Chain A
Amino acid sequence: MYAQLVKSEGKKSAEEMSPEERAFQDRVDRGEKIEPKEWMPEGYRKTLIRQIGQHAHSEIVGQLPEGNWITRAPTLERKAILLAKVQDEAGHGLYLYCAAETLGISRDQLLDKLHDGSMKYSSIFNYPTLTWADIGAVGWLVDGAAIMNQVPLQKTSFGPYSRAMIRICKEESFHQRQGYDIMMKMAQGTPEQKAMAQDALNRFWSPALMMFGPSDKESVHSAQSMAWKIKIDTNDELRQKFVDQTVPQAEYLGLSIPDPNLKWNEEKKGYDFSEPDWTEFFEVIAGNGPCNRERLGARVKAWEDGAWFRDALVAHAEKDAARRAAARVAAE
């Protein structure tokens, strides 16, 4: 999802655990929240840094494909809405960075790891937004998939992460609805507009399914993360839920899901559908998606171009503090 392929460690059995680890697991099992200064297994801390960091990076990089259309939104109202939406994503990134920092990694370290490629962001943001309908598809499908994953994470065991998720979820449904609203407008518009909406759905459907990551039913990493309650559902469960929720929404729009194998399965009370192309997924994760270089390049450039400004503000703050201190001494 926003955090895909997060490496954890193999799940430990009760006998393999130290007394501290067992006491920790009991707290998690009882539904207690773990707070930053409390004892936690090193693997828990490390996995959370990777997961929350990747989630934060996704929010920040995720501003780029949508930011692409702010200056070209079709009306002033749409522009204002998109601006507010993209600003929310920046806020979400900031909540999450703060949560990650409570685990003992600094903001600059997190950003360095994004910039040097050692930490990832969601594969979905390496696809281009070619038309205005893509902005609709992103809000509807990408934010929709994000919500699927984030709602259960509100109950995650790590206090700061859980609280960040609660704030984010409160703001997220605006994102999905504004996207769907764009899709409705396009789908009910001229034949050309409807074709654009269908084209956006065609291009974003499969990448949206990939957001949940490959099947992890058998993954030991996932088993440990689930025991720690930093992962709540399996990737397949979330993907199924997403498909079941999205198909009727596409039907309402009069658009068709680009999957010939999509079929209602009465027995499982859900849709059968084709697996996305996992070779493509791994290529995108490895840095070879359509926009990887552009996205990361934009982040690195923004960071480097802003360095003098960040430094200037620090210099100003230091001078100001010195001036105040001197004035205090003089007054005494």
Chain B
Amino acid sequence: MSSEWPLWEVFIRGQHGLNHRHVGSLHAPDAEMAIKNARDVYTRRNEGVSIWVVKSVDIAASSPSDKGPLFEPSNSKVYRHPTFFSIPDEVGHM
């Protein structure tokens, strides 16, 4: 008869100006309770200024086996990093 509360992923903005960061998950019956629980579970020491919660089932994730095809293409594009180009000292800071 009892149904388990759904799982929520919790994201906290640590300070103004920073991104929300994933800190963990928790169970709660609805979004409102999830935010209240997140306050108690993840911000007991003033760790945040804002909380997002999202149902874990609503998160789409890349699969670990796709790691190669997804991320390897960027390996060969070293020119995306500024250090690829050498600029003569005389030019000054760039």
Residue positions of A touching B, CB distance < 8 A: 35, 37-39, 84, 87-88, 91, 94-95, 98, 101, 106-108, 163-164, 167, 171, 307, 310-311, 313-314, 316-317, 320-321
Q: 8 Å CB contacts to A: which residues of B1-46?
A: 1-5, 7, 24-27, 29-30, 33, 40-42, 44-45
- On chain B, the residues within 8 Å of A313 by CB distance are 5, 29-30, 33
Q: Is B75 an interface residue (CB 8 A)?
A: no
Contact of B41 among A91, A107, A317 (CB under 8 A): A91
Given A88-B44, A311-B1, A107–B27 Cβ distance below 8 Å? yes
A320 to B5, CA, bound (A): 15
A151 to B36, CA, bound (A): 29
Q: Is B61 an interface residue (CB 8 A)?
A: yes
- On chain A, the residues within 8 Å of B44 by CB distance are 84, 87-88, 91, 171
- On chain A, the residues within 8 Å of B5 by CB distance are 310, 313-314
Residue positions of B touching A, CB distance < 8 A: 1-5, 7, 24-27, 29-30, 33, 40-42, 44-45, 61, 63-64
Given A88-B44, A313-B33, A314-B29, A37–B64 Cβ distance below 8 Å? yes
A171 to B30, CA, bound (A): 28
A239 to B62, CA, bound (A): 43
Chain A interface main SS type: helix
Least CB separation from B3: chain A residue: A314
The reply to whether A35 and B30 contact each other, CB–CB distance below 8 Å, is: no
- On chain B, the residues within 8 Å of A98 by CB distance are 7, 24-26
Besides A95-B41, A310-B5, A317-B30, 19 new A-B residue pairs in contact (Cβ under 8 A), listed by A number: A84-B44, A88-B44, A91-B40, A91-B44, A94-B41, A95-B24, A98-B26, A101-B7, A106-B4, A108-B2, A171-B44, A311-B1, A311-B3, A313-B5, A313-B33, A314-B3, A316-B29, A316-B30, A320-B30
CB distance from A288 to the nearest CB of B (A): 31
Least CB separation from B45: chain A residue: A171
A42 to B12, CA, bound (A): 33
Q: Could you list some 9 contacts between A and B, CB below 8 A?
A: A38-B64, A39-B64, A91-B42, A94-B26, A98-B7, A101-B25, A106-B4, A311-B1, A313-B33
A213 to B33, CA, bound (A): 39
Given A94-B26, A107-B27, A317-B30, A307–B2 Cβ distance below 8 Å? yes
A91 to B3, CA, bound (A): 22
> Max chain A CB contacts within 10 Å: which of B24, B40, B61, B64?
B24
A106 to B4, CA, bound (A): 9
- On chain B, the residues within 8 Å of A321 by CB distance are 30
- On chain B, the residues within 8 Å of A108 by CB distance are 2, 4
The reply to whether B29 and A37 contact each other, CB–CB distance below 8 Å, is: no
A163 to B42, CA, bound (A): 13
- On chain A, the residues within 8 Å of B30 by CB distance are 313, 316-317, 320-321
Least CB separation from A315: chain B residue: B29
A87 to B42, CA, bound (A): 12
Least CB separation from B31: chain A residue: A317
A223 to B54, CA, bound (A): 40
A299 to B66, CA, bound (A): 43
Least CB separation from A109: chain B residue: B4
